[in-house]
Structure 1
Amino acid sequence: MSQPRRRRSPVVPAVAAVLGAVALAAVLWPRGEGVPPAPAPAAAPAVAPVTARPGPAAPAVASPPVPPSPPVRLEIPGIGIRAKVLSLGLNPDGTLEVPPLSKAEQTGWYNRGSAPGLPGPTVIAGHVDSARGPAVFYRLGALKRGDRARVVRADGKVATYEIDAIESVPKDAFPTDRVYGAVPHPALRLITCGGAFDRATGHYENNTIAYAHLLSLH
C-alpha cells in the first residue's frame, strides 16, 4: 500500500514536519504484498462500524514529575490484550514504520509523539488481522466507554487510562487533528483498520480509533 508523503500540520508546532506525514501513514496498516485477506468469519467483529464519537476533552490531569519512558507492553483486560509494544520511527520517505506482519500480535508506538503518562497523545497502533487470522487489535472495536487500558513503561511505571470513546472513520476522512493534535492532558489513542474489507484493493476502508485519558501513573 502506498502511504501519503510528508506534509505540514499546524497542530503541534514541535513536530509539525512529521505529523502530516504520519497522520494517515500511521493508520494504514498494510496486509503485505501478496498477502490474501483473512477468512470471512475471522473478520466479523473488526468490520462492525463503531458510531460513538469522542466527547468533550477530558479534564487536565497533573503530569507527575517523572522523565519520559517508552512503552514496552499494552494491557487491555476487557478485550483480552496483553501485547509487546514496538517503537516506531519514520521511514526515509517520511512515512511511519510498521511492525512486520510476522509480528502481528504486537503493537507499535509512534516514538516522536508523547511518552505514556505525559501530556499529549500517546499513539499506539496495530494490525487487525493477517493471513494467519486475527491480530492484536482484532477486538479493538469492542471496547466500551469506561474500559481501562494499561501501558507499562520501560522504567516499570504503569500508565492507566480510561476509554472515552470509540469511532470508525473512512480512511480518506481520518481525523488527524483529533488523533495527533496537542492536548494539555495525557491521552491515549489506539488505532487499527476497520469497516468493510475491499477485496479488490486488499485493504479495509475505515480506521477504528479509541480515545482515552490518563487515570494514574505509578
Structure 2
Amino acid sequence: MKQAGVFSTATLGVLLLVATGAPGYGQQPQQQQNQNQNRQQNQARRPPQQNQNRQQNQTRRAPQQNQNRPRMQEQNQNRQQAQRPGQSNQNRPRPALELQRTQQERRAQQAEQRRIWQQHRAGRWDSERRTWQQRGGYSGYRIPAPYFRNYYGRNHWFRVYNLPFMVVGGFPRFQYAGYWFTFLDPYPEYWGVNWYETDDVFIDYSMDGYYLYNRMYPGRPGIAVSIAF
C-alpha cells in the first residue's frame, strides 16, 4: 500500500509539472506570431512615409530645375550671340545720327572725287597720253593669268564711282577686285564729265601693259594704269 501511495504521489507530481509547463511552451509560438505581425505592420507603415519623402524631394527639385532652365536658355543665347558678333551688329538698327553722318561722309567723298576727276581731264588727249611702250615698257606687278581671266578683261566691266578711291602722288587711284589701279594719264576730253558714274569700264592687258578702256567708246585707245596691292 505504501508503494502505491508513493507511485501515485510521484505520478501526480509529474502530471503537475507537465500541466504547469505546458502553458509556457504554448505561449512562445504565440509571442513569435505577435512579433512577426508587429514587424509586418511596421514595414507596411514605413513605405508610404518613404514614398512621401521621395515625392517631396521630387517636388522640391522640380521647381528648382524649372527655375534653372530660363537661366540656361539665357546663357545659351548669350553664347550664340557672342559667337556671332558680326551678325548681331548687322541686325541692330543704326541710329539716325549715325546714318546722317555716313550720308554726309559719302556726299563729301563724292564731291571730292568729282573735283579730282575734273582736274584730271585732258585738253587734247591724243597728244597728252603715252603708251607703255613710250614709257619704256611695263615693269610693274602682273596679275596671275587665272585670276585675271576671272575678274578682268573686256567681259568684266564695272563703274569706278562706288569703288574705294584716293589720290597718290597727284594721280587718281581706285581699287577693284583686290588690286589698286592708278591713272598715269588724264582721261580723254570726249568722255563725259561724270563718266566714272555712268560709263562701264574694264581693265585689259594689251601688247605692252595694262590699260583702262571705256565701253562707250569701242576701238579707242585706253588709259595706261599701274597696279599695286
**Same fold by TM-score, threshold 0.5 exceeded?**
no
Bigger Rg, which one = 2
| More strand per residue | 1
Q: Normalising by the residue count of structure 2, what TM-score does the alignment of the two structures yield?
A: 0.26
| More helix per residue | 2
